[in-house]
Amino acid sequence: MSEGQRETCDLLIEAGFVVPVEPHGVVLEDHAVAVRDGAIVAVLPRAEARARFDAAETVSRPDGALVPGFVNSHAHNPMTLLRGVADDLPLKVWLQQHIWPIEGAVIGPDFVADGVTLAIAEMLRGGTTCVNENYFFPDVQAAVYKRHGFRARVGLPVIDFPTAWAKNDDEYFDKAGEVHDQWRDDPLVATAFAPHAPYTVNDANFERVRMLSDQLDVPVHLHLHETAQEVQQSQDKHGQRPIARLDRLGLFNDRLIAVHMTQLTDAEVHLCVERGVSVVHCPESNLKLASGFCPACALERAGVNLAIGTDGCASNNDLDMVGETRTAAILAKAVAEDAAAFDAFTALRAATLGGAKAIGFDHLVGSIEPGKQADLACFDLSALETQPLHHVVSQLVYAAGRHQVSDVWIAGRHKLRERELPGMDVDAIVANARQWRARIAAISL
């Protein structure tokens, strides 16, 4: 090919290994990813890439493994400021005597903006490029994600009691409509309905959520079957398990992002398949709060789309999708009593493409394919902890740590460069977090 025929691109990323996730089970050696206008235009051998493209910038990572950016499919990122504030307590005491009173004292636009900013920095340093967010003040969250060029689906909260965000049902729905309208055409930030949980949302509000989510064509992000107690409470109050109740209300469908799902009968697993419900597995939150075990392997083998989330930092206590993916993989084996269950490729797929699909972003992200946005994470596998490199995906899932993420791009923009965060003032973020520590410590419980 002569010089005159060379194509231009903005960015060429050369990596020792590329794990595209789609097709499944593939590791490409010495490949490159060409990016133009934020999107992937080609995935090809490095030598071919050099011959074909004139790149404005070339980034070479010969010891790197390039993967799709992780999609954290369930988080409450303002709660990053509550990391470690009350641990090792029973769920009810933890929520009612600690988390809710503290939130009552601090919640507002500043708390939300500062928590999300801290979370963005942490997520980028761990290879996460997209989040499914669920908290109050979604208007503030959306603006902060946009400012930092971070991809997000922001939940529009619905809950039966007044909060700092809205004082009654109509206000929750009015505000949801306003935030949705403001972000409906944004390339980076979108919305979902986020009714809190079956035990905090009545039938009438669920019906409004169903009608509006159909009308606006947005997903519904919901905590569901998190604990045995939740299921029992629903039986007592409604005469139905929460899934049956949601199915009666028309919400158990392919828009539903069902988070936790630790209590499932075989029939409920099959109903997930039939209705196209996506399940978000949050293993570390479930373990720490002793909520139960999501049957990830049974769901995956039945054909349910599975995603992975960290949950909020008050119950995890980090936003580490690398660690969460490992926990998901090994816990799935233990629960299935089968060491062959939920292999490394399957775990990585759930943490990337599974999440993208769950939140309706799979046309945009989740795999390294031409036409998708260049949301990418690169791991440096040269460290002794990931040597010798017998199997790249095994090292990524079972041995690597998030500190080995060297680079991250979102829509082709370099958001983490050799562990540095261009465009973010890390010292200021840490100083601000310390200031919140003092404010929270001063709250009398």
Q: Which residues of the shown chain bind Zn ion in the complex (CB under 5 A)?
A: 311
> What tokens appear for 32 in the block?
């490159």
For 184, list phi and psi in degrees, rounded to 5.
Answer: -60, -30
Residues 6+ apart with CB under 8 A from 317: 83, 84, 87, 288
| Distance from C-alpha of 389 to C-alpha of 437, rounded to nearest angstrom | 41
- Closest distance of CB 262 from Zn ion, Å: 12
CA atoms within 13 A on the CB side of 236: 7
- Which is closer to Zn ion, CB of 114 or CB of 133? 133
Name the packing angle between helices 138-147 and 169-183 (round to 10°): 20
Closest CB 282 distance from Zn ion, rounded Å: 7
Handedness of CA 389, 395, 401, 406 (dihedral sign): positive
Q: Which residue is nearest to Zn ion (CB)?
A: 311
Backbone φ and ψ for 289, nearest 5 degrees, come out as -90, 5
> 3-35 b/e with 16+ CB inside 10 Å = b?
eeeeeebbbbbbbbbbbbbeeeeeebeebbbbb
**Nearer Cβ to Zn ion (14/311):** 311
Residue 76 or 255: the one with the smaller Cβ distance to Zn ion is 76
Place of tokens 């119950």: 315
Residues belonging to the chain: 445
Nearest distance in Å: CB 307, Zn ion: 13
Which residue lies nearer to Zn ion by CB, 65 or 331? 331
Shortest spacing between CB 226 and Zn ion, in angstroms: 8
Nearer to Zn ion, 40 or 116 (CB): 116
**Closer to Zn ion by Cβ: residue 230 or 311:** 311
Q: How far is the CB of 259 from Zn ion (least distance, A)?
A: 6
- Residue 280 or 396: the one with the smaller Cβ distance to Zn ion is 280
Least spacing, CB of residue 75 vs Zn ion, in Å? 8
In the complex, the smallest distance separating the C-beta of residue 428 from Zn ion, rounded to whole angstroms, is: 28
Tell which residue, 29, 61, 146, 117, has the closest CA to residue 376.
Answer: 61
